[in-house]
Amino acid sequence: MTLEVSALKGMYPAFPTPFTADGAIDTERLHALVDTLIADGATGLVPVGGTGEYTALSPAERTLVVRATVEAARGRVPVVAGVVSPGYAEALDAGQAFVDAGAAALLLVTPFYVTPSDAGVRAYFQRYRDAAGVPLLLYDIPARTRYATPPATIASMAKEDGTIIGMKACNTDLNAFARTVALAGKDMAILSGDDLLYVHHVLLGAVGGILTSASLLPKAWARIHASAANGDAATALREHAMLAPMLDAIFSETNPGPAKKAFELLGDGLGPVRLPLVEPAAATVARMKEALAGLPKGWLP
């Protein structure tokens, strides 16, 4: 499946990797999850990546997850595999394996640990795009990488370099987000990567989102996205406020621990997390139970 910019819109859930009780990848559960997400309106799928516990998986396991996702999707929606390796060689090995497994595009994080320059990021993505041979989405998440890609650099990557067709925007600076939309919104698909700021991002010009909680509550997010995309700011903000207690609870600890626990609370568990992640604290679980109880029944799986 060739991924075009026009297909990058709506909900692309970033979903946790299901594990069996003994910690192995549960491909049967993964297939069922993919079917549910597509049935509930997902326009694309984002396996592995941060929510999928990329750093806790072996290279072979990462590829297994991508291949199983592609098989389960059966061409109904594109699969964009998340690559969150810190440097070029490892990232390219992973990306090429994901492409061989059927991924239509790659979501590539900016290099981290070694803090890059703007010129270094542009060169990194240029070389990677030439080598990988598939469309790339920029994953800009300065809270994890200590590097925020400047709007002008993003615009240059999309327009001058031709290295990216979209991005997952996780920079919480709304001014920078608005500037990115102004400079590059006509040349690439800007997707929100922040569940808490999603409505604001769409109202400013995002065309969809790559969200963790969209894998847990796809019906709720379909409603919120529809309201925001149609320009009904009042309804979108009201619906998002109804979801806020759940989002606050889920993101009070590092995911996907809370997200997996929430799946379990809804009666459809995805198994444990791998170290260094651990089960969420009892107080977090209590907050999630209370938040779930307060959601409209039609929003729940």
* Residues that are catalytic: 139, 168
How many angstroms separate the CA atoms of 15 and 49, rounded?
9
Distance CA 73, CA 79 (A): 8
Contact 95, 63 (CB under 8 A): no
Residue 240: both structure tokens together: 């998002």
Interhelix angle 233-250/282-293, nearest 10 degrees: 150
Instruction: Give kind and range of the element (H or E) at residue 250.
Output: helix 233-250
CA distances, 162 to each of 130, 187, 189, 198 (Å): 10, 9, 13, 26
- Give ∠ CA 213-216-222 in degrees, rounded to 5: 75
Alpha-carbon distance 211 to 218, whole Å? Answer: 10
Distance CA 73, CA 75 (A): 5
CB of 54 closer than 8 Å to CB of 17: no
Token pair, residue 120, equals 């270094």
Helix 257-265 to helix 233-250 angle (10° resolution) is 100
**Residue 171 zone, left/alpha/beta (φ > 0; ψ -120 to 50; rest):** beta
Helix (H) or strand (E) holding 140: strand 136-140
